[in-house]
A = this chain, B = another copy of it.
């Protein structure tokens, strides 16, 4: 075990340079903890000559990450390029075919090709690790795969896209519209090149799909994640929800039910006073509920050079220490298919309606809800100057189906001034 573990790093963006820094600055500490040195043999990136704030001069260089993966002096390929296909997948496959271990931060690649790559890795006796793919610096993959492995997981919840949480909390604090804060976030460089990955919930959905696979022993099923972005959340909903004691979060929920696997990444309301409700700015939080452990909450930075590099290094260190595990906590060939649940579990909902100023308007709404079996927990009508009145309703637990029925019948009442807004309230 005193042979060095030799890394090949593919991708030298923020996270890649962060990893180089840790390997360089903490050589003694890593060697003490692993019982062997961790070294870098070679690196690869799109642009060779670029100021990155780290000295790469002693490392080999490869223009092609696939060539990097095949080098004889590389034991572990650290894939930090991103993208679900292309060079990331090609170099990962090349490494696994050459029986080399792979550490990646690539949630998209694993969410889409995780099963295939895990089978390839395990057939070749390799490990494929991805702590950095989920919730940045929070060691949540390890917590779930190992630390809580004695539990039947009953639910996972997570705020796992820092940009969305930044946008939502900034809207509330500053009283700004979605578009205004979106522009701010964009100017600050917080958004992915394709912002839909963030605000459309796709990036967070990838992460949820990975956690689900581990939690429930099922094949990664990203297509089964019900996705809804935050782009339709208005400052009015944020403020009204706050009045009713809630905060809006882009919340991931995964649960195995009798109806199949529920995986949702959608805007939800959570109680203001709950750990999730209190989560501010770009911080991430993952809540894991197990039959023995109860509720475990993990909180930390979900992105950034240091936190993500820290997660990458935890995988590298495990490999250096000889800690080897199946990709999703049990052999990939033993993972079950995970049919998506056909309907979500009942929940209370928040409804925001704008009622025309007509006698009996509220009664019609209440009657319609009653007709489809949706009962009202709390209702609040606001004073108004114009021709329509804002009305907020918090329902008792109901199915989304019943609620959709009510929403479709509202049209026929002729008392709505605008399209109603309905947001699920997650019981945390």
Q: Which residue of B lies closest to A287 (CB)?
A: B299
A275 to B283 alpha-carbon distance, docked (Å) = 13
Question: Known interface pairs A33-B149, A150-B313, A291-B306. Does A300 touch B297 (Cβ–Cβ under 8 Å)?
Answer: yes
Q: Which residue of B18, B149, B292, B300 is within 8 Å of A309 (Cβ)?
A: B292
Q: Which residue of B lies closest to A305 (CB)?
A: B292
Contact B298 A150 (CB under 8 A): no
Question: Known interface pairs A26-B152, A278-B278, A298-B298. Does A146 touch B318 (Cβ–Cβ under 8 Å)?
Answer: yes
A275: which B residues are within 8 A, CB to CB? 275, 299
Contact B150 A146 (CB under 8 A): no
Q: Which of A83-126 contact B (CB under 8 A)?
A: none
A309: which B residues are within 8 A, CB to CB? 150, 292
Q: When each residue 139-152 of chain A gets 1 if its CB lies under 8 Å from chain B and 0 otherwise, what string results?
A: 10011001111111
Q: Which residue of B35, B142, B296 is within 8 Å of A137 (Cβ)?
A: B296
Contact B306 A137 (CB under 8 A): no
A390 to B148 alpha-carbon distance, docked (Å) = 49
Q: Tally A residues with Cβ within 8 Å of B.
A: 58
Q: Which residue of B33, B296, B304 is within 8 Å of A139 (Cβ)?
A: B296
A139: which B residues are within 8 A, CB to CB? 142-143, 146-148, 296
Question: Known interface pairs A142-B143, A325-B323, A330-B33. Does A293 touch B150 (Cβ–Cβ under 8 Å)?
Answer: no
Q: When each residue 65-93 of chain A gets 1 if its CB lies under 8 Å from chain B and 0 otherwise, what string results?
A: 00000000000000000000000000000
Cβ-based interface call for A341 (8 A):
no
Cβ-based interface call for A317 (8 A):
yes
Question: Known interface pairs A147-B131, A317-B150. Does A293 touch B299 (Cβ–Cβ under 8 Å)?
Answer: no
A329 to B35 alpha-carbon distance, docked (Å) = 10
Contact A150 B26 (CB under 8 A): yes
Interface set of A (CB-CB < 8 Å, partner B): 18, 22, 26, 29-30, 32-33, 35, 131, 137-139, 142-143, 146-152, 217, 275, 278, 290-301, 304, 306-307, 309-314, 316-318, 321-326, 329-331, 334
